[in-house]
Amino acid sequence: MLVAPVLGAAGREARFGDGSAPSDAELAPARALAAPRADRVLAAPSPRCRRTAGALGLAAEAEPALADLDPGGWRGRPLAELASGEPESVAAWLSDPEFAPPGGESVAALLARVGGWLDALPAGAGRVLAVAEPAAVRAAVVHALALPPAAFWRLDVAPLTATSLSGRSGRWNLRCGAPLTARQLT
């Protein structure tokens, strides 16, 4: 099961993430939710994913394969600014899976990284829960369902939702966008 982290400032401002940690106020919705049961808990190495896991009450081990798509030189910049200043580059980024921002990572490379992680999950690993960047969740779905790379940009991953992949390499089933449930007050 892949859980998307809280939104954070970069997402609200439509700019490429800069690796900043979410505020306590941004983490409040996660604190009100109950994390699903899991035999193994992972989190992408970003402060956003690690802190979301903590807010959900999870002790997660870091999983670098679930890191966000690396924007390279676009880090921290608003998409609108890039679209007006470098329209050809933004168009290429959105249409060519092999295109990478300066010093960054292509969607094709992200698909290979996340797909490799998914394929390497051992049979009988039990229920794995990972708090993963939305781009990594999209990449996992594209890989698991053998979708064309262009489908990556057509998938939306809402904050604090669960996307479940069950099965095994070569035979995955998908359940996407399930909301996490509220914690029971005791």
Domain count, the chain: 1
Residue 14 to residue 48: CA distance in whole angstroms: 16
Rounded CA separation 143/101 (Å): 22
Question: Could you list the residue range(s) of the whole structural domain that residue 134 is in?
Answer: 2-182
CATH code, domain carrying 47: 3.40.50.1240
Q: What is the pLDDT of residue 177?
A: 65
Give residue 151's pLDDT: 96
Q: What residues of the chain score a pLDDT lower than 50?
A: 186
> What is the reported pLDDT for 186?
44
Q: How many CB atoms lie within 10 A of CB 119?
A: 12
